[in-house]
Structure 1
Amino acid sequence: MRSIVFAKRVIKEMLRDPLSYIFCLGFPIVMLIVMTVIDRSIPNEAGMTIFHIQSLLPGIEVFGLTFIMLFTALQVSKDRSTAFLIRLYASPMRPIDFVCGYTLAISIIAVCQVLITFGVGFVMGQFIDYSFHIGYLIAGMAVLIPSALMFIGIGMFFGTLLNDKAAPGICSIIITVVSMLGGIWMDIDMIGGTITKVAHALPFYQGVNGARMAVLGNFGELAKPLCIILIYAFLIYCASALVFGRKMKSDLT
Protein backbone atom coordinates (compact mmCIF):
# COMPACT_ATOMS: atom_id res chain seq x y z
CA MET A 1 0.00 0.00 0.00
CA ARG A 2 2.81 2.45 0.86
CA SER A 3 4.44 1.74 -2.51
CA ILE A 4 1.17 2.41 -4.36
CA VAL A 5 0.62 5.74 -2.61
CA PHE A 6 4.19 6.78 -3.37
CA ALA A 7 3.81 5.62 -6.99
CA LYS A 8 0.78 7.90 -7.46
CA ARG A 9 2.85 10.85 -6.32
CA VAL A 10 5.70 9.96 -8.73
CA ILE A 11 3.27 9.73 -11.66
CA LYS A 12 1.86 13.17 -10.87
CA GLU A 13 5.35 14.67 -10.72
CA MET A 14 6.39 13.18 -14.06
CA LEU A 15 3.17 14.20 -15.79
CA ARG A 16 3.76 17.81 -14.76
CA ASP A 17 6.92 17.83 -16.87
CA PRO A 18 6.05 18.44 -20.56
CA LEU A 19 9.42 16.97 -21.62
CA SER A 20 8.22 13.56 -20.43
CA TYR A 21 5.50 13.66 -23.09
CA ILE A 22 7.91 14.82 -25.80
CA PHE A 23 10.76 12.38 -25.18
CA CYS A 24 9.02 9.41 -23.56
CA LEU A 25 5.95 9.29 -25.81
CA GLY A 26 6.48 11.53 -28.85
CA PHE A 27 10.15 11.05 -29.71
CA PRO A 28 9.99 7.30 -30.56
CA ILE A 29 7.07 7.96 -32.91
CA VAL A 30 8.92 10.77 -34.69
CA MET A 31 12.00 8.57 -35.07
CA LEU A 32 9.91 5.70 -36.41
CA ILE A 33 8.30 7.91 -39.04
CA VAL A 34 11.57 9.56 -40.08
CA MET A 35 13.51 6.31 -40.38
CA THR A 36 10.67 4.65 -42.28
CA VAL A 37 10.71 7.50 -44.81
CA ILE A 38 14.48 7.05 -45.15
CA ASP A 39 14.04 3.29 -45.62
CA ARG A 40 11.55 3.87 -48.44
CA SER A 41 14.15 5.95 -50.28
CA ILE A 42 16.87 3.27 -50.09
CA PRO A 43 17.02 1.11 -53.25
CA ASN A 44 16.23 -2.58 -52.76
CA GLU A 45 19.55 -3.42 -54.40
CA ALA A 46 21.36 -2.02 -51.36
CA GLY A 47 20.12 -4.93 -49.25
CA MET A 48 19.57 -2.64 -46.25
CA THR A 49 16.96 -4.51 -44.20
CA ILE A 50 17.64 -3.11 -40.73
CA PHE A 51 15.47 -0.07 -41.48
CA HIS A 52 12.51 -2.18 -42.62
CA ILE A 53 9.67 -1.48 -40.24
CA GLN A 54 9.56 -5.03 -38.85
CA SER A 55 13.19 -4.63 -37.69
CA LEU A 56 13.05 -0.92 -37.01
CA LEU A 57 10.02 -0.94 -34.70
CA PRO A 58 11.57 -3.07 -31.89
CA GLY A 59 14.87 -1.18 -32.14
CA ILE A 60 13.18 2.22 -31.96
CA GLU A 61 11.22 1.11 -28.90
CA VAL A 62 14.33 -0.06 -27.05
CA PHE A 63 15.90 3.29 -27.91
CA GLY A 64 12.77 4.99 -26.53
CA LEU A 65 13.17 3.09 -23.26
CA THR A 66 16.54 4.77 -22.75
CA PHE A 67 14.68 8.04 -22.26
CA ILE A 68 12.54 6.33 -19.63
CA MET A 69 15.86 5.58 -17.92
CA LEU A 70 16.91 9.23 -18.21
CA PHE A 71 13.68 10.55 -16.67
CA THR A 72 13.85 7.94 -13.91
CA ALA A 73 17.33 9.14 -12.98
CA LEU A 74 16.14 12.77 -13.06
CA GLN A 75 13.10 12.04 -10.90
CA VAL A 76 15.02 10.07 -8.27
CA SER A 77 17.93 12.53 -8.11
CA LYS A 78 15.54 15.52 -7.83
CA ASP A 79 13.59 13.81 -5.05
CA ARG A 80 16.80 13.17 -3.15
CA SER A 81 17.82 16.82 -3.43
CA THR A 82 14.58 18.06 -1.80
CA ALA A 83 13.29 17.87 1.74
CA PHE A 84 10.36 15.78 0.54
CA LEU A 85 12.25 12.51 0.40
CA ILE A 86 14.11 13.23 3.61
CA ARG A 87 10.77 13.61 5.40
CA LEU A 88 9.65 10.30 3.92
CA TYR A 89 12.79 8.68 5.27
CA ALA A 90 11.43 9.30 8.76
CA SER A 91 8.22 7.45 7.86
CA PRO A 92 7.71 3.66 8.14
CA MET A 93 8.65 3.30 4.45
CA ARG A 94 11.55 0.96 3.74
CA PRO A 95 14.00 1.17 0.83
CA ILE A 96 12.11 -1.60 -0.97
CA ASP A 97 8.92 0.50 -0.75
CA PHE A 98 10.64 3.40 -2.52
CA VAL A 99 12.11 1.12 -5.20
CA CYS A 100 8.75 -0.57 -5.81
CA GLY A 101 6.97 2.79 -5.88
CA TYR A 102 9.30 4.24 -8.49
CA THR A 103 9.16 1.02 -10.51
CA LEU A 104 5.35 0.85 -10.49
CA ALA A 105 4.90 4.48 -11.50
CA ILE A 106 7.50 4.57 -14.26
CA SER A 107 6.51 1.12 -15.55
CA ILE A 108 3.06 2.53 -16.34
CA ILE A 109 4.67 5.26 -18.46
CA ALA A 110 6.94 2.68 -20.14
CA VAL A 111 3.96 0.45 -20.98
CA CYS A 112 2.13 3.44 -22.47
CA GLN A 113 5.20 4.19 -24.58
CA VAL A 114 5.38 0.60 -25.86
CA LEU A 115 1.65 0.46 -26.65
CA ILE A 116 1.64 3.79 -28.48
CA THR A 117 4.82 3.09 -30.46
CA PHE A 118 3.73 -0.39 -31.50
CA GLY A 119 0.26 0.90 -32.33
CA VAL A 120 1.72 3.58 -34.60
CA GLY A 121 4.06 1.00 -36.13
CA PHE A 122 1.13 -1.31 -36.89
CA VAL A 123 -0.79 1.50 -38.62
CA MET A 124 2.30 2.58 -40.59
CA GLY A 125 2.77 -0.99 -41.75
CA GLN A 126 -0.63 -0.88 -43.40
CA PHE A 127 0.39 2.17 -45.40
CA ILE A 128 3.64 0.62 -46.67
CA ASP A 129 2.10 -2.76 -47.49
CA TYR A 130 3.47 -4.67 -44.53
CA SER A 131 1.05 -6.51 -42.27
CA PHE A 132 2.21 -7.22 -38.74
CA HIS A 133 0.97 -10.41 -37.11
CA ILE A 134 -1.06 -9.24 -34.09
CA GLY A 135 0.08 -12.17 -31.97
CA TYR A 136 3.72 -11.55 -32.80
CA LEU A 137 3.34 -7.84 -31.98
CA ILE A 138 1.89 -8.71 -28.58
CA ALA A 139 4.77 -11.14 -28.01
CA GLY A 140 7.22 -8.38 -28.96
CA MET A 141 5.66 -6.01 -26.43
CA ALA A 142 5.85 -8.70 -23.76
CA VAL A 143 9.52 -9.37 -24.52
CA LEU A 144 10.24 -5.65 -24.03
CA ILE A 145 9.00 -5.71 -20.41
CA PRO A 146 12.31 -7.03 -18.97
CA SER A 147 14.20 -4.38 -20.95
CA ALA A 148 11.90 -1.68 -19.59
CA LEU A 149 12.47 -2.87 -16.02
CA MET A 150 16.21 -2.99 -16.62
CA PHE A 151 16.32 0.60 -17.88
CA ILE A 152 14.19 1.77 -14.95
CA GLY A 153 16.60 0.01 -12.61
CA ILE A 154 19.58 1.72 -14.26
CA GLY A 155 17.85 5.08 -13.89
CA MET A 156 17.15 4.47 -10.19
CA PHE A 157 20.73 3.35 -9.60
CA PHE A 158 22.34 6.47 -11.07
CA GLY A 159 19.60 8.73 -9.72
CA THR A 160 20.37 7.44 -6.24
CA LEU A 161 24.14 7.45 -6.60
CA LEU A 162 24.50 10.87 -8.29
CA ASN A 163 22.91 14.31 -8.03
CA ASP A 164 20.50 15.81 -10.54
CA LYS A 165 23.39 17.45 -12.43
CA ALA A 166 25.58 14.37 -12.89
CA ALA A 167 22.93 11.66 -13.36
CA PRO A 168 21.66 12.91 -16.76
CA GLY A 169 25.21 13.03 -18.10
CA ILE A 170 25.88 9.40 -17.21
CA CYS A 171 22.53 8.38 -18.68
CA SER A 172 23.41 10.21 -21.90
CA ILE A 173 26.55 8.08 -22.15
CA ILE A 174 24.45 4.94 -21.76
CA ILE A 175 22.04 6.19 -24.46
CA THR A 176 25.03 6.61 -26.78
CA VAL A 177 26.26 3.08 -25.97
CA VAL A 178 22.80 1.67 -26.69
CA SER A 179 22.74 3.52 -30.02
CA MET A 180 26.15 2.22 -31.05
CA LEU A 181 26.12 -1.34 -29.68
CA GLY A 182 22.41 -2.13 -29.48
CA GLY A 183 22.07 -2.97 -33.16
CA ILE A 184 19.36 -0.36 -33.63
CA TRP A 185 20.92 1.56 -36.52
CA MET A 186 23.43 -0.98 -37.82
CA ASP A 187 23.90 -4.73 -38.12
CA ILE A 188 26.34 -5.48 -35.31
CA ASP A 189 26.82 -9.06 -36.46
CA MET A 190 28.27 -7.88 -39.78
CA ILE A 191 31.01 -5.91 -38.01
CA GLY A 192 32.50 -8.93 -36.27
CA GLY A 193 35.48 -9.01 -33.95
CA THR A 194 35.64 -7.49 -30.47
CA ILE A 195 32.81 -5.02 -31.06
CA THR A 196 30.35 -7.80 -31.84
CA LYS A 197 31.46 -9.83 -28.82
CA VAL A 198 31.08 -6.83 -26.50
CA ALA A 199 27.65 -6.01 -27.98
CA HIS A 200 26.46 -9.59 -27.47
CA ALA A 201 27.58 -9.51 -23.84
CA LEU A 202 25.53 -6.38 -23.14
CA PRO A 203 21.78 -6.49 -22.49
CA PHE A 204 21.00 -3.70 -24.98
CA TYR A 205 21.71 -5.78 -28.08
CA GLN A 206 19.92 -8.74 -26.53
CA GLY A 207 16.87 -6.58 -25.84
CA VAL A 208 16.68 -5.37 -29.43
CA ASN A 209 17.41 -8.81 -30.86
CA GLY A 210 14.87 -10.53 -28.62
CA ALA A 211 12.11 -8.07 -29.50
CA ARG A 212 12.87 -8.47 -33.21
CA MET A 213 12.70 -12.26 -32.91
CA ALA A 214 9.28 -12.01 -31.25
CA VAL A 215 7.87 -9.54 -33.79
CA LEU A 216 9.04 -11.79 -36.64
CA GLY A 217 7.75 -14.93 -34.94
CA ASN A 218 11.19 -16.50 -34.38
CA PHE A 219 10.53 -17.93 -30.93
CA GLY A 220 12.98 -20.83 -31.13
CA GLU A 221 16.02 -18.79 -30.04
CA LEU A 222 14.22 -16.31 -27.80
CA ALA A 223 15.22 -17.93 -24.50
CA LYS A 224 18.85 -16.76 -24.63
CA PRO A 225 18.27 -13.00 -24.99
CA LEU A 226 15.45 -13.12 -22.44
CA CYS A 227 17.64 -14.87 -19.87
CA ILE A 228 20.47 -12.39 -20.36
CA ILE A 229 18.16 -9.38 -19.95
CA LEU A 230 16.48 -10.85 -16.86
CA ILE A 231 19.84 -11.52 -15.22
CA TYR A 232 20.99 -7.95 -15.87
CA ALA A 233 17.66 -6.54 -14.63
CA PHE A 234 17.84 -8.60 -11.42
CA LEU A 235 21.42 -7.56 -10.67
CA ILE A 236 20.71 -3.90 -11.41
CA TYR A 237 17.66 -3.89 -9.11
CA CYS A 238 19.63 -5.51 -6.32
CA ALA A 239 22.31 -2.83 -6.71
CA SER A 240 19.67 -0.06 -6.81
CA ALA A 241 17.98 -1.27 -3.61
CA LEU A 242 21.33 -1.61 -1.86
CA VAL A 243 22.53 1.86 -2.89
CA PHE A 244 19.17 3.45 -2.02
CA GLY A 245 19.22 1.86 1.42
CA ARG A 246 22.72 3.14 2.14
CA LYS A 247 21.91 6.64 0.87
CA MET A 248 18.78 6.61 2.99
CA LYS A 249 20.80 5.86 6.13
CA SER A 250 23.49 8.43 5.30
CA ASP A 251 20.90 11.18 4.66
CA LEU A 252 19.27 10.52 8.03
CA THR A 253 22.55 10.81 9.94
Structure 2
Amino acid sequence: MRFLNFSSRNRKEILRDPLSLVFGIGFPVIMLALFSVLSNSIQGMPKEIFSISNFAPDMVVFGLSFITLFLGTLMANDRKSSFLTRLFSSPLKKRDYVWGYQFPMVIMAILQAIVCFIASLIFGLEFTPRIFLALVVIIPVSLLYISFGLLLGTFFSPEQVGGMGSMIVSVSIILSGTFFDLDTMEGGFATFCNILPFRHAVDSIQYTLSGDYKEVIINLIWVLVYAGVIRGVATEFFGKQMRY
Protein backbone atom coordinates (compact mmCIF):
# COMPACT_ATOMS: atom_id res chain seq x y z
CA MET A 1 0.00 0.00 0.00
CA ARG A 2 3.03 2.28 -0.35
CA PHE A 3 1.50 3.79 -3.47
CA LEU A 4 -1.25 5.57 -1.50
CA ASN A 5 0.89 8.56 -0.48
CA PHE A 6 2.07 8.98 -4.05
CA SER A 7 -1.53 8.59 -5.23
CA SER A 8 -2.63 11.33 -2.82
CA ARG A 9 -0.01 13.67 -4.25
CA ASN A 10 -1.22 12.97 -7.80
CA ARG A 11 -4.82 13.64 -6.79
CA LYS A 12 -3.78 17.03 -5.42
CA GLU A 13 -1.91 17.81 -8.64
CA ILE A 14 -5.05 17.08 -10.65
CA LEU A 15 -7.15 19.33 -8.41
CA ARG A 16 -4.63 22.14 -8.87
CA ASP A 17 -5.90 22.53 -12.44
CA PRO A 18 -9.68 22.80 -11.90
CA LEU A 19 -10.29 24.28 -15.37
CA SER A 20 -9.11 21.11 -17.11
CA LEU A 21 -11.08 19.02 -14.64
CA VAL A 22 -14.27 20.98 -15.27
CA PHE A 23 -13.69 20.75 -19.03
CA GLY A 24 -13.17 16.99 -18.90
CA ILE A 25 -16.36 16.49 -16.91
CA GLY A 26 -18.44 19.29 -18.39
CA PHE A 27 -17.75 18.98 -22.11
CA PRO A 28 -19.36 15.52 -22.48
CA VAL A 29 -22.41 16.88 -20.63
CA ILE A 30 -22.59 19.83 -23.04
CA MET A 31 -22.38 17.44 -25.99
CA LEU A 32 -25.08 15.29 -24.42
CA ALA A 33 -27.38 18.28 -23.99
CA LEU A 34 -26.67 19.62 -27.48
CA PHE A 35 -27.41 16.42 -29.37
CA SER A 36 -30.41 15.62 -27.18
CA VAL A 37 -31.95 18.96 -28.14
CA LEU A 38 -30.98 18.61 -31.80
CA SER A 39 -32.36 15.09 -32.11
CA ASN A 40 -35.74 16.33 -30.90
CA SER A 41 -35.73 19.55 -32.90
CA ILE A 42 -34.34 18.72 -36.34
CA GLN A 43 -36.11 16.45 -38.77
CA GLY A 44 -33.88 13.84 -40.33
CA MET A 45 -31.58 13.46 -37.33
CA PRO A 46 -30.90 9.72 -36.84
CA LYS A 47 -32.82 9.32 -33.59
CA GLU A 48 -31.74 5.70 -33.17
CA ILE A 49 -28.16 6.97 -32.78
CA PHE A 50 -28.79 10.18 -30.88
CA SER A 51 -31.54 8.91 -28.61
CA ILE A 52 -30.51 9.43 -25.02
CA SER A 53 -30.38 5.68 -24.30
CA ASN A 54 -27.82 5.18 -27.09
CA PHE A 55 -25.95 8.46 -26.83
CA ALA A 56 -25.41 8.43 -23.04
CA PRO A 57 -22.87 5.53 -23.12
CA ASP A 58 -21.05 7.30 -25.96
CA MET A 59 -20.65 10.44 -23.87
CA VAL A 60 -19.61 8.48 -20.79
CA VAL A 61 -16.74 6.93 -22.75
CA PHE A 62 -16.00 10.28 -24.40
CA GLY A 63 -15.46 11.71 -20.92
CA LEU A 64 -13.16 8.82 -20.02
CA SER A 65 -10.95 9.56 -23.01
CA PHE A 66 -9.90 12.86 -21.43
CA ILE A 67 -8.26 10.84 -18.66
CA THR A 68 -5.61 9.86 -21.21
CA LEU A 69 -4.78 13.53 -21.67
CA PHE A 70 -4.81 14.35 -17.95
CA LEU A 71 -2.65 11.41 -16.89
CA GLY A 72 -0.21 11.69 -19.77
CA THR A 73 0.31 15.39 -19.08
CA LEU A 74 0.81 14.78 -15.36
CA MET A 75 3.43 12.08 -15.93
CA ALA A 76 5.23 14.04 -18.64
CA ASN A 77 5.42 17.11 -16.43
CA ASP A 78 6.79 15.00 -13.58
CA ARG A 79 9.49 13.69 -15.89
CA LYS A 80 10.27 17.15 -17.24
CA SER A 81 10.61 18.66 -13.77
CA SER A 82 12.88 15.80 -12.63
CA PHE A 83 10.37 15.04 -9.87
CA LEU A 84 10.32 11.37 -10.84
CA THR A 85 14.11 11.22 -11.07
CA ARG A 86 14.37 12.35 -7.47
CA LEU A 87 11.57 10.04 -6.42
CA PHE A 88 13.28 7.01 -7.98
CA SER A 89 15.64 7.00 -4.99
CA SER A 90 12.70 6.15 -2.71
CA PRO A 91 11.72 2.55 -1.79
CA LEU A 92 8.80 2.66 -4.24
CA LYS A 93 8.79 -0.03 -6.92
CA LYS A 94 7.56 0.49 -10.46
CA ARG A 95 4.18 -1.07 -9.66
CA ASP A 96 3.79 1.48 -6.85
CA TYR A 97 4.35 4.33 -9.30
CA VAL A 98 1.89 2.88 -11.80
CA TRP A 99 -0.76 2.30 -9.13
CA GLY A 100 -0.08 5.75 -7.72
CA TYR A 101 -0.88 7.33 -11.07
CA GLN A 102 -3.74 4.94 -11.83
CA PHE A 103 -5.75 5.03 -8.60
CA PRO A 104 -6.85 8.71 -8.61
CA MET A 105 -7.76 8.40 -12.28
CA VAL A 106 -10.15 5.53 -11.54
CA ILE A 107 -11.86 7.71 -8.93
CA MET A 108 -12.04 10.54 -11.46
CA ALA A 109 -13.55 8.19 -14.06
CA ILE A 110 -16.32 7.15 -11.67
CA LEU A 111 -17.09 10.79 -10.84
CA GLN A 112 -17.19 11.67 -14.54
CA ALA A 113 -19.60 8.82 -15.21
CA ILE A 114 -21.86 9.80 -12.30
CA VAL A 115 -22.13 13.37 -13.59
CA CYS A 116 -22.82 12.15 -17.13
CA PHE A 117 -25.51 9.70 -16.02
CA ILE A 118 -27.19 12.37 -13.87
CA ALA A 119 -27.27 14.66 -16.91
CA SER A 120 -28.63 11.78 -19.02
CA LEU A 121 -31.47 11.23 -16.54
CA ILE A 122 -32.32 14.92 -16.79
CA PHE A 123 -32.49 14.63 -20.58
CA GLY A 124 -34.75 11.61 -20.53
CA LEU A 125 -32.75 8.48 -19.81
CA GLU A 126 -35.00 6.01 -18.05
CA PHE A 127 -33.82 5.27 -14.53
CA THR A 128 -32.89 1.66 -13.91
CA PRO A 129 -30.80 0.02 -11.18
CA ARG A 130 -28.54 -1.17 -14.00
CA ILE A 131 -27.07 2.35 -14.02
CA PHE A 132 -25.31 1.45 -10.77
CA LEU A 133 -23.93 -1.69 -12.40
CA ALA A 134 -22.76 0.45 -15.31
CA LEU A 135 -20.72 2.50 -12.84
CA VAL A 136 -18.94 -0.73 -11.89
CA VAL A 137 -18.31 -1.55 -15.56
CA ILE A 138 -16.81 1.93 -15.92
CA ILE A 139 -13.83 0.81 -13.82
CA PRO A 140 -12.38 -1.76 -16.28
CA VAL A 141 -13.28 0.49 -19.21
CA SER A 142 -11.40 3.38 -17.60
CA LEU A 143 -8.29 1.17 -17.40
CA LEU A 144 -8.04 1.34 -21.19
CA TYR A 145 -7.74 5.13 -21.21
CA ILE A 146 -5.55 5.13 -18.12
CA SER A 147 -3.21 2.73 -19.94
CA PHE A 148 -3.04 5.10 -22.91
CA GLY A 149 -2.19 7.90 -20.48
CA LEU A 150 0.58 5.82 -18.89
CA LEU A 151 1.98 5.09 -22.33
CA LEU A 152 1.97 8.74 -23.46
CA GLY A 153 3.36 9.98 -20.16
CA THR A 154 6.21 7.47 -20.34
CA PHE A 155 7.35 8.24 -23.87
CA PHE A 156 6.45 11.84 -24.71
CA SER A 157 7.05 15.40 -23.54
CA PRO A 158 4.17 17.51 -22.12
CA GLU A 159 3.81 19.32 -25.45
CA GLN A 160 3.71 16.06 -27.41
CA VAL A 161 1.24 14.52 -24.96
CA GLY A 162 -1.18 17.36 -25.71
CA GLY A 163 -1.25 16.49 -29.40
CA MET A 164 -1.20 12.72 -28.97
CA GLY A 165 -3.84 12.80 -26.25
CA SER A 166 -6.15 14.95 -28.36
CA MET A 167 -5.71 12.48 -31.20
CA ILE A 168 -6.76 9.59 -28.96
CA VAL A 169 -9.82 11.57 -27.81
CA SER A 170 -10.79 12.20 -31.45
CA VAL A 171 -10.09 8.64 -32.59
CA SER A 172 -12.09 7.27 -29.67
CA ILE A 173 -15.22 9.28 -30.40
CA ILE A 174 -15.07 8.59 -34.15
CA LEU A 175 -14.22 4.88 -34.14
CA SER A 176 -16.58 4.02 -31.28
CA GLY A 177 -19.53 4.76 -33.57
CA THR A 178 -20.75 7.83 -31.71
CA PHE A 179 -21.91 9.65 -34.85
CA PHE A 180 -22.89 6.68 -37.03
CA ASP A 181 -24.22 3.17 -36.57
CA LEU A 182 -21.37 0.72 -37.07
CA ASP A 183 -23.83 -2.17 -37.37
CA THR A 184 -25.09 -0.74 -40.67
CA MET A 185 -21.60 -0.55 -42.15
CA GLU A 186 -19.70 -3.19 -44.07
CA GLY A 187 -16.20 -3.58 -45.40
CA GLY A 188 -12.78 -2.80 -44.07
CA PHE A 189 -13.66 0.27 -42.03
CA ALA A 190 -16.29 -1.57 -39.99
CA THR A 191 -13.86 -4.44 -39.42
CA PHE A 192 -11.17 -1.97 -38.36
CA CYS A 193 -13.54 -0.38 -35.82
CA ASN A 194 -14.49 -3.80 -34.48
CA ILE A 195 -10.86 -4.80 -33.99
CA LEU A 196 -10.01 -1.70 -31.98
CA PRO A 197 -11.23 -1.40 -28.37
CA PHE A 198 -13.19 1.87 -28.58
CA ARG A 199 -16.45 0.44 -29.84
CA HIS A 200 -16.26 -2.36 -27.29
CA ALA A 201 -15.81 0.21 -24.51
CA VAL A 202 -19.08 1.88 -25.48
CA ASP A 203 -20.90 -1.40 -26.12
CA SER A 204 -19.97 -2.78 -22.70
CA ILE A 205 -21.80 0.12 -21.06
CA GLN A 206 -24.64 0.00 -23.57
CA TYR A 207 -25.25 -3.71 -22.96
CA THR A 208 -25.03 -3.20 -19.21
CA LEU A 209 -27.87 -0.68 -19.37
CA SER A 210 -29.93 -3.05 -21.55
CA GLY A 211 -29.22 -6.06 -19.32
CA ASP A 212 -27.40 -8.18 -21.91
CA TYR A 213 -24.64 -9.34 -19.58
CA LYS A 214 -23.17 -11.97 -21.91
CA GLU A 215 -22.32 -9.22 -24.39
CA VAL A 216 -20.95 -7.11 -21.55
CA ILE A 217 -18.40 -9.80 -20.72
CA ILE A 218 -17.42 -10.31 -24.37
CA ASN A 219 -16.83 -6.59 -24.92
CA LEU A 220 -14.99 -6.15 -21.63
CA ILE A 221 -12.58 -8.92 -22.63
CA TRP A 222 -11.65 -6.92 -25.74
CA VAL A 223 -11.16 -3.77 -23.66
CA LEU A 224 -9.12 -5.47 -20.94
CA VAL A 225 -6.83 -7.25 -23.40
CA TYR A 226 -5.93 -3.93 -25.01
CA ALA A 227 -5.59 -2.25 -21.61
CA GLY A 228 -3.36 -5.04 -20.33
CA VAL A 229 -1.02 -4.97 -23.33
CA ILE A 230 -0.72 -1.17 -23.38
CA ARG A 231 -0.25 -1.00 -19.61
CA GLY A 232 2.36 -3.75 -19.78
CA VAL A 233 4.39 -1.89 -22.41
CA ALA A 234 4.15 1.37 -20.47
CA THR A 235 5.12 -0.29 -17.19
CA GLU A 236 8.10 -2.08 -18.73
CA PHE A 237 9.56 1.06 -20.27
CA PHE A 238 8.77 3.08 -17.15
CA GLY A 239 10.80 0.53 -15.20
CA LYS A 240 13.72 1.01 -17.59
CA GLN A 241 13.58 4.76 -16.97
CA MET A 242 13.91 4.04 -13.25
CA ARG A 243 17.17 2.18 -13.86
CA TYR A 244 18.81 4.87 -16.01
TM interval, shorter chain, is over 0.9
Deviation of 1:176 after TM superposition, in Å, equals: 1.8
- Letter paired with 1:223: I
In 1, the alpha carbon distance for the partners of 2:15 and 2:142 equals 19
- Report deviation, 1:213: 1.2
Contact 1:23 1:67 in 2 (8 A): no
Q: For residue 132 of structure 1, what is the amino acid of its counterpart?
A: F
Aligned position for 1:60: 59
Deviation at 1:23? 2.1
Q: Give the aligned partner of residue 100 of structure 2.
A: 101
Q: TM-score, normalised by structure 2?
A: 0.95
Bigger mean CA offset, 237-246 vs 116-125 = 116-125
What is the TM-score when the length of structure 1 is the normalising length?
0.91
Q: 3-state SS of the aligned residue for 2:48?
A: coil
User: Higher mean Cα deviation, 16-25 or 64-73?
Assistant: 16-25
Shift of 1:189: 2.0
Aligned-residue Cα RMSD (Å) equals 1.5
Matched-pair contact (CA < 8 Å) for 2:39–2:46 = no
1:178-216 CA distances to partner (integer Å, 9 max, x unpaired)?
Answer: 122111121122121111101011110001111111112
Counterpart of 1:79 in structure 2 is 78
Counterpart secondary structure, 2:49: coil
From 150, 168, 177, the equivalent of 2:144 is: 150
Does the Cα contact within 8 Å between 1:31 and 1:60 map onto a contact in 2?
Answer: yes
- Confirm whether residue 169 of structure 1 aligns to residue 163 of structure 2: yes
Sequence identity, in percent? Answer: 34
Matched with 2:41 is 41
Partner of 2:126: 131
Of residues 135-144 and 64-73 in structure 1, the stretch that sits farther from structure 2 once superposed is: 135-144
Shifted more, 230-239 versus 154-163: the winner is 230-239
- Cα deviations across residues 208-243 of structure 1 (Å, max 9, x unaligned)? 111111112222422210111111111122112101
Contact 1:206 1:225 in 2 (8 A): yes
Are residues 123 and 48 of structure 1, via their aligned partners in 2, closer, same or farther at CA, if it must alter by over 3 Å? closer
Q: 1:130-174: per-residue Cα shift (whole Å, max 9, x none)?
A: 5231x2212222222212111011101111111111122112221
User: Paired residue for 1:208?
Assistant: 202
Do 2:14 and 2:21's aligned partners in 1 also have CA atoms closer than 8 Å?
Answer: no
1:196 and 1:154 mapped to 2: Cα distance? 23
Counterpart Cα distance in 2 of 1:203 and 1:158: 17
**Equivalent residues in 2 for 1:2-13, closer than 5 Å:** 2-13=2-13
In the alignment of these two chains, the number of paired residues is 244
Which whole-Å CA distance do the structure 1 matches of 2:83 and 2:42 have between them?
A: 53
> Match of 2:19?
19
- Aligned AA for 2:32? L
> How far apart, in 1, do the equivalents of 2:146 and 2:214 lie?
28
**Gap change, CA 1:75 and 1:34, over 3 Å in 2:** same
Give the Cα–Cα distance (whole angstroms) in 1 for the partners of residues 214 and 9 of structure 2.
41
Q: Specify the code of the residue in structure 2 equivalent to 1:17.
A: D
**Partners of 1:42 and 1:227 in 2: how far apart?**
38
CA distance in 2, matches of 1:46, 1:98: 46
Of 99-108 and 219-228, more deviation after overlay is shown by: 219-228
Offset at residue 47 of structure 1 (A) = 5.0
1:42 touches 1:48 (CA, 8 Å); kept in 2? no
Paired residue type of 1:210: S
